[in-house]
Structure 1
Amino acid sequence: MNVGDRVRLMSGREEGIITRILDNGIVEVAIDNDFTIPVSRREVVVIAAEEQKFMRQDDEAAFTPRKEAAAPVLATQGIYLALVHQSEELLAATIINNTDFDVLFTSGEEREKGYRGLQNDKLNPKNTRVIAHYHLKDFEKWPSLLIQFIQHRNGGTSLFEPVTKRVQFRANSFYKSKKMAPVLNKEAYLFQLDQKPVAIDTNKIREQLSDTPTQAEGFKLQAPEHEVDLHIDKLVEDHSGMSNSAMLKLQLERFQDALERAMAANMHEIIFIHGTGNGVLRKEIQKILSHTPGIRFFEDARKEKFGYGATLVRLR
């Protein structure tokens, strides 16, 4: 049972499409492509005709030998996110791999409350995968979609950089993006996720991994300040257009960088000023510290100076 399967409710005659798989054996089903309800997986059954259709497609993809391309040059570019109409109201968010390479991908939603993973898988060449469904009537509430992927080909001679792409939906550009989607051969709201892939020089990687005196010569580690202020207005001049999740991500990146440099510089302690606020940043910092080797202990910094808005970290 997968996202995109058409199912029937065992307790009635209603039919719909699985739009999301939740925890505890619950799935979300869009009934008649209109409204969505949570249902136990035990209370729905995949409609036989559709199930056979999907299984046949999977079998053909798995057992039909792929025809060798007539041209010696392989297509490395052509990875898309397509929003495809399932009905006038319901859209299927679909990843398209129009290249001659396998694509290993993860996908997730970013909302103000944070990140939520959706799917991860390997997408074969010239293939597609539905990752979520969205209603047009809820357009203003749609999350940003975060897609991470890397291209690979068995026997290939190139190693490509991983790619992270965030797609934010805005009305003024969304409705202008409608065009014919490759592989699907349907009209869709189409967003290209890749540019020309960047090949990695494996010789340079070996040089970077080898610990040679030549590389170390002239390098001086810059230790962080004893007190690191993580308030967002200290990290970026204008944050008015940033979402809460984007601000939190930047603050955690700056925290992680300062912590790693402090440990590498053999500092005995460091203070991170995170403020009180809603406590999310403090909680995330202390969660990371609790799983980081090399930490003796951490505690609230001097309350007479910081209140509960800073964390003192003792390093080994």
Structure 2
Amino acid sequence: MKIGDKVVFLSETGGGTVAGFQGKNIVLVEDADGFQIPMTLNDVVVVDDTNDYSSAHSVESRKKKADVDDNVSVNLNLNDKREESRAEAQEREGGDVLSVWLAFVPVDARDISNTTFECYIVNDSNFFINFTYLSAEASRWSLRHTDVVEPNTKYFIEELSHSQISEIEHVQIQFIAYKHDKPFLLKAPVSADLRIDGVKFFKLHTFRQNIYFEQPALLFPLVEKEETKPIPSTNKRVGEKKQDEKEILVVDLHSSELLETTSGMNNTEILQYQLREFNSVMKEQMKNRGKKIVFIHGKGQGILRQAILHELRTKYKSCMSQDASFREYGYGATQVTIR
């Protein structure tokens, strides 16, 4: 099987033209609309140009033939595929500047609250990208995926539900870039650390039109034009006023400051998001003894204030808290001193 072959799907109706390969057993099939569909090698079969690749009879006859192929022929096909893929790697002008992205695409953007999300590595360069994709839980890391992305292609990694997004709140993508069978300018290894906010996946406007996908997507730059160093993660919080070490750090926990919209979120989900922000700031500042932090939570019914005080009593017992100056911050602010 090689790029340009016409193929049909064995497990479903349809087919197209082989546009490329991903990893060891994934083939990219371009359909009549120009969309590239990732399929396993076992789920497609090559057809002649004269055959109707949507014909059920054609599919069935080739499926029977595919079922009797032995492991030797499969391995030979994989080796042939690698050589074809390597020989057919197309370069473009300007592609020697690295540009690599982590992308999330909603499967059904019309039902953003219930849809799943496809995760891709986008390699917008003339280099092969050998990557590892890891996620963190506390201080321990787990390998989620590793493979090679061909030049100027998108690589499908995984599909995630809303409940699984929490698994990738902290991820790291490490990769090296190189070319086959030709000299190239050496690129420094990349290690990009990303913090992913799961709440954004509930908001349709988070996903923007782009040049890589027909659908709107959420794109995180790993290396973006010109630089071979990872794009630094600012993790700048909305409503947080950056202060010098000796000055008071002010963090506004109002939902209107933290979230672009609360559409689709109930009060419990909003409160949990505010507390995650509170705990994130506290953990970040616990090493700075004597540091003063003012959390603005508003007067309201006092639910957020009580939740903050509970967190302080149970998780940060060494810290001191008091009502912040109402002259400076109004009613509804708590000052915490790190000890």
TM-score bracket for this pair, using the shorter chain length: 0.3 to 0.5
TM-score, normalised relative to structure 2: 0.37
